[in-house]
Amino acid sequence: MLVTLEACWLKTLIFASSISMLITYYGHSCFLIEVNGKKLLFDPFIRPNPKAAHIDFASIKADYILVSHGHEDHTADLVDLARQTNAMVICNWEIHQWVQNKGIIKTHSMNIGGHWIFDFGKVKCVNAVHSSSLPDGTYGGNPMGFLVEAPEGKFYYAGDTALHYDMKLIGDYKKMNFSFLPIGNNYTMGVDNAVIASEFIRCDTIIGMHFDTFDPIKIDHKEAMQKFEQAGKELHLMKIGETIEL
């Protein structure tokens, strides 16, 4: 009996200490998150990004590629990476049609408000306030964000978005372990609004994205860190190529 209890306790300890996710940054809004033994890649824009020139594109592996919207700074490497990795592309209906037309048949189309259970966990598509057209001018549908729920935890990937009141729904919905928020301003919300967003979603650990890639979205790192700190939040500004565990 004692032995069994001890074994149970040990198992709980090991389980508790292993609850974390590996996050790798490929620049701009492109991240690879490993959950439940699967690699999830978001918004692939690597080769056209001079700041990500040191990333070995050919070695990137993914099981799923999630696409928030059609803009080139989120889809430039989508078709080639889908081909290279044989990953399933998760995106809205319009982007699904666009990639299918380019010969990528492993797709799962979704739209805002819907969720689907994949082998790694649950993906729910949420509102993003932005625009969405594909690099060749094709209509890209509506932009979205993703809520991902896996055994290791939950996270929110906001995509390109303004601060909006629907983010409060996420705060009411479930506790996110961490969230990816755009902070570069000009095309999306900036740092000040992202701090408010982190309050709306009630999330204390934020990973910044969509900053520094282009001149209009260059930010002051120290100031950004301070603003989140003053709000009692932690902001991660990852280096391109860096992997962290959260």
Q: Which residues bind Ni ion (CB under 5 A)?
A: 71, 160
What x-and-dash track marks residues 167-196 binding Mn ion by CB under 5 A? ------------------------------
**Of residues 71 and 124, the one with the C-beta less far from Ni ion:** 71
- Separation of alpha carbons 156 and 195, rounded Å: 15
Q: Which residue lies nearer to Mn ion by CB, 140 or 176?
A: 140
> Among residues 77 and 160, whose Cβ is nearest to Ni ion?
160
Out of 23, 34, 70, 73, point to the residue binding Mn ion (CB under 5 A): 73
d(CA 171, CA 142): 22
Longest Cα separation, the chain: 67
Burial of 160 (0-12, 13-18, 19+ CB in 10 A): buried
Cβ 159 to Mn ion, closest distance in Å? 8
Q: Is 77 in the site for Mn ion (CB under 5 A)?
A: no
Q: Print the binding letters for residues 146-165 with Mn ion: x by CB under 5 A, - otherwise.
A: --------------x-----
**Least distance between Ni ion and beta carbon 235 (Å):** 21
Q: Hey, which bits of the chain come out as E strands?
A: 22-25, 31-35, 38-42, 64-66, 88-92, 107-110, 115-117, 122-127, 144-150, 153-157, 178-182, 205-209, 234-236, 243-245
Which residues contribute to the site for Mn ion (CB under 5 A)? Answer: 71, 73, 160
